[in-house]
Amino acid sequence: MNVYIGADHRGFEYKKTIIAALKKTGHVVVDLGTHSKEPCDYPDVAKNVGARVAKDSDSRGILVCMSGIGQTIAANKVKGVYAALCYNLEAAELSRRHNNANVLVLSSKFIPEKDLPKILDVWMT
């Protein structure tokens, strides 16, 4: 499955961990930026990931920023995107099972990095 991933400067480091975990499980990861810790506009990243997911109906998207709130709002403005901000395993599971979310939004401030692989595993299945 194609997974489009994007992060702002506050999610840049987490994005590396997420990409490694996804590749380990055989997913094709398309990194849409940002590619440094330089400040950037999170709405641009969210819209870019959302547009790719909306065009590729068999894909999913993942966004990372400090709180996750802004990325969620921006991504959900793209027609065909159902972005869910998930701070824990249960929310990730419910977002797929009950809401059919196609974009997962994660917080680099409120989610411990060690929890990312479990959240990704639940959300991607």
27 noted as active-site residue: no
Q: Output the six-digit token pair for 118.
A: 């479990």
Of these residues, 9, 27, 40, 65, which one is catalytic?
A: 65
Query: In Å, how far from its chain's centre is CA 53?
Result: 11
46 to 10, 42, 43, 67, 115: CA distances (angstroms): 14, 6, 5, 13, 22
Active-site residue, 9 included: no
Q: Which residues are marked as active site?
A: 65, 98
